[in-house]
Structure 1
Amino acid sequence: MRKKARWQLLVVLGLFFFSMAFAPSKHAQALPDPTTEFYVYDPSSTLSEETKSFILSVNEQYELTEEKPQIVVAVVDSLQGETIEEYSVDLFEKWEIGQADADNGVLILLALEEREIRFEIGYGLEGALTDSRTGRILDNHLDYLSANDFDGGLKEIFTEAAVVVNEEYQYDDEVIFSGYPVDTTQYSEG
């Protein structure tokens, strides 16, 4: 009898671990798919068409470079009970932001319900967009976010992050921001 109970316990434990190993990720249905434009995810229309066009234009210029960095802006209604750290990592990985060999992607994630914002940076750009640097970028534009001007805030945050990426790869700001007037001096470290 004792042998039979142990055998049943092993079978139950085996089924449990098997089901855990093949269970769908906790975000399998919760995480959105990227848009066809990829660089902007904004189903709530928080961003103006001008800001979306600017983000797309900068990333199109990046596509013409050797390194092909990517800066994606995502606005989600809710984190669906997850922390912003977990959500941003999972979204960054699901969307495969940045080039695989260079891991040079940047995700700027805004969760509207939680009123939280976060950068997720690929290892290839962590030297340029450090935690302290991204913290300063967010602090620099906190007034926009506090006033619920998410469009203006995200545009400024994106622009400052792009200036840092341009410095890292020694890209010409005028080429990357082609057609858009950007005063890069306001974003200088110093």
Structure 2
Amino acid sequence: MLLLHAASLSAAETPIPAAPTRWATDTAGFLTEATRADLDARLRAYEARSGHQVVLWIGRTTGDAPIEDWAVRAFAAWRVGRTGLDDGAVLFVMADDRKVRLEVGYGLEGQLPDARAATIIREQIVPRLRGGDRDGAARAGVDGILRALGDTQTGQNLVGAESEHQRRPALGLFQLIVVGLLGLIFVGFLVTHPGLAILLLTTLASGRSRGGGGGFGGGGFGGGGGGGFGGGGGRSGGGGATGSW
């Protein structure tokens, strides 16, 4: 009897994985890699814009532990959200259990209350999962969460760099006039003082090439080394919703 009781406790205490190092993690091969990478990029970009951490984590099973209990423990262990704000949310999908859990930190419960979380699962995620559209379910779930949090850039594919044309806003009429006037002034200067004009062009070109380093300065959860969130949050109190398919 004691051995059976110990085995039961062991099964119930499903180990919590190490904190993920990405915003979208699929340990069950549930999604196509293209979809997982796209969602990862979108959630990373959302955190950069808002500071809120929204994470998708897909596994196989929580064992005998209810997904609600398991999700609370994982949320706390991973410290999702920022210290003192607890502004994080995790969408858990358990492929073998056929269950979904949206765990919401205290700091986001005003924007993403239990009723709204339940609606996202019931209307956006579960119908697509029942229809076999796993990628669509994950995308719809992430879109629903970000939309509830007030994000206006949901549904955008962020994998790969944008073109230079997409990143640059079109010049307005006033800007075109200013550019034209500056061009005329420079042409006049070139005619009257050609040596100084060439020297000025050379100086400007040299300064531009020296200042073009750019690039990202780090990244990943928590801003430091070692991976994992390390955000300092992790308090959810069981807020959120659960569904199954």
TM-score using structure 1 length: 0.69
Paired residue for 1:173, among 153, 178, 194?
153
Tell me, yes or no, if the aligned pair for 1:34 and 1:41 is still in contact at 8 Å: no
Structure number with bigger Rg:
2
Aligned length: 148
The answer for the alignment partner of 1:31 in structure 2 is 16
Q: d(CA) in 1 for partners of 2:47 and 2:102?
A: 21
Paired residue for 2:119, among 120, 136, 152?
136
| Cα gap change, 1:150 to 1:34, in 2 (>3 Å) | farther
Gapped runs of 5+ residues in structure 1? 1-25, 181-190
Gapped runs of 5+ residues in structure 2? 1-11, 160-245
Q: Secondary structure at the match of 2:93?
A: strand
| TM-superposition CA deviations, 1:2-40 (whole Å, max 9, x none) | xxxxxxxxxxxxxxxxxxxxxxxx75x711113332x12
Q: CA RMSD in A?
A: 2.4
Aligned pair 1:84/2:48, yes or no? Answer: no
| CA positional deviation for 1:172 | 4.2
Q: Secondary structure at the match of 2:139?
A: helix
Q: Secondary structure at the match of 1:106?
A: strand
The answer for the alignment partner of 1:155 in structure 2 is 139
Q: d(CA) in 2 for partners of 1:87 and 1:148?
A: 25
| TM-superposition CA deviations, 1:93-129 (whole Å, max 9, x none) | 1111111221110110111222111110001110111
Question: In percent, how many aligned pairs have the same letter?
Answer: 24
| CA positional deviation for 1:178 | 6.5
Tell me, yes or no, if the aligned pair for 1:30 and 1:80 is still in contact at 8 Å: no
| TM-superposition CA deviations, 1:119-174 (whole Å, max 9, x none) | 10001110111111111111212221112322221111111101112x1xxx5427
TM-score using structure 2 length: 0.55
Q: d(CA) in 2 for partners of 1:177 and 1:123?
A: 27
| TM-superposition CA deviations, 1:34-63 (whole Å, max 9, x none) | 3332x1221122122222222222222234
